[in-house]
Structure 1
Amino acid sequence: MDDGIMSVRRKKESSMVKAVMMAREGVVDGVVSCGSTGAFYTSAMLFLKRIEGVEKSCLMVMMPTYNGKGMAMLDVGANAENTAQQLYDFAIMGNIYAKNIRGIAKPRVALLNIGTESKKGDEAHQQAFQLLEQSDRLHFVGNVEGRDIISGDYDVVVTDGFSGNIALKTCEGVAATLMKMIKESMMSSLKGKLGALLAKSSLYSLKEKFDYKSVGGALMMGFEKAVVKAHGASDAKAFSNAMELAYQMVKLDVVGQMKEGLSQK
Structure 2
Amino acid sequence: MKLKRSSRLVDMTHYLLQHPHKLVSLSFFSERYASAKSSISEDLVIIKESFETQGIGKLTTVPGASGGVRFLPLVKKEAAEQFLHTLSATLTDTERLLPGGYLYMTDILGDPLTINEIGRLIASAFVTKQVDVIMTMETKGIPLAYATASQLNVPVVIVRRSSRVTEGSTVSINYISGSSKRIQSMVLPRRGLAPGSHVLVIDDFMKAGGTMKGMTNLIKEFDAELAGCAVLVETKEVSPKLVDGYLSLLKLGEMDQESDISVEIGNYFDYFQEDDLQ
TM-score of the two chains, using structure 2 as the length reference = 0.27
Normalized per residue, the structure richer in helix is 1
RCO comparison, higher one (Cα < 8 Å, 6+): 1
